[in-house]
Amino acid sequence: MISNSDYDENLLKQQEIQDKNFLIDIAIGYTKSVALSCALKFKIPQLLEDKSKSCKELSEVLNVNCDNLYRLLRTLSTIGIFIEDELEDGVFRNSRLSKLLISSTSDSWVNNVYLQSHPNVIQSFMYLDKTIESGTSQGMTSQGFSSAWELFEKDKQLKAHFHNTMTSFTSDEIKTILNNIDFNQYKTIVDLGGSSGELLKSIAKSPRGKFVESFINLDLPLVINQNKINNQNGGGGEEFDKRYTEVASDFFIDSDYPSANCYTLKFIFHMFDDDKVLSILNKIAKSIKPNGKVYVFDHIVQPKNQPSAPFYFDLQMVLNFNGKERSQKEWRNVFERSPFKIDTILILSDSKRMSVIELSLA
């Protein structure tokens, strides 16, 4: 008969084994992200779109070593990315997961997978220790880039994945935003850092933006210029609402923002430290019309000691942008130093990642 003490000891041993395996899995976690990055680089999901193929066929198309390609795909198949034929070694087909990686259109969430598994993004984490030691972002500078923006300019495909990721975030969240905010109360809305303009275009199409007189998308000149190129190449879709315009401007260099009743900032402040956030808020305060509002759509990290995506984004922000994700307390500390006061904070239960902070002049 097994005593209670023996039973408890066995449970403790089993837990210890599980804990050790968990820590090893974390330690080698980079192998999964790098392997995925490699498969995406070689466009394996697309090559398997029509039918199963052998590694010999794939290696001939890609002009790579067949044996090493096999080892890559075999490893990914163990975590559900691709499926190796049970009877014939070295023959693979797409799995349910890898089928999701085939499309990377402008509004697809898959862009974020390509973004997060990009070699330079992965490499940036090798400089986390230097970032912690120095107190400044080292993820890009240690790779020879002045900033993530320089990397985006040098790697046009990565730049497209970044902006498409932002667009897909907006597409995911726009229903939630419109369910909580009626924008008809404002004559002019300026979206600061609006990228492709997806947020304003969606509001303009909604009954909750029907009576807004002007929508202004403000972003960096390189972003606005890319929007123009996309539109000229037919990537702009249907003709824009005539109320919609775009302004090329730098948050920090140019003196004033367009005057408006409402300013929106979607996943913008988390890319900056507190001082730069305050700089933006001070400029908004000079341009906002009486009784105007500012809506901050961003992460609020919570709760402690539980897995949550914003905590991981926080490391990316400090590594690559010198920014940060903030708790409610940290957001309040920033806004208390600004010309604005918090009217409401909405932790949106139906949102994947976003909360809404509503501000007005103090």
The residues carrying an active-site annotation are: 270
Q: What is the 3-state secondary structure (H, E, C) of the chain?
A: CCCHHHHHHHHHHHHHHHHHHHHHHHHCHHHHHHHHHHHHHCCHHHHCCCCCEEHHHHHHHHCCCHHHHHHHHHHHHCCCCCEECCCCCCEEECCHHHHCCCCCCCCCCHHHHHHHCCHHHHHHHHHHHHHHHHCCCCCCHHHCCCCHHHHHHHCHHHHHHHHHHHHHHHHHHHHHHHHHCCHHHCCEEEEECCCCCHHHHHHHHCHHHCCCCEEEEEECHHHHHHHHHHHHCCCCCCCCCCCEEEEECCCCCCCCCCCEEEEEEECCHHHCCHHHHHHHHHHHHHHEEEEEEEEEEECCCCCCCCCCHHHHHHHHHHHHCCCCCCCHHHHHHHHHCCCEEEEEEEECCCCCCCEEEEEEEC
**Cβ-Cβ contacts under 8 Å for 172 (sequence gap 6 or more):** 109, 352
Q: Are 260 and 188 in contact (CB under 8 A)?
A: yes
Measured in degrees and rounded to the nearest 5, phi and psi for residue 177 equal -60, -50
For tokens 């300026």, name the residue.
190
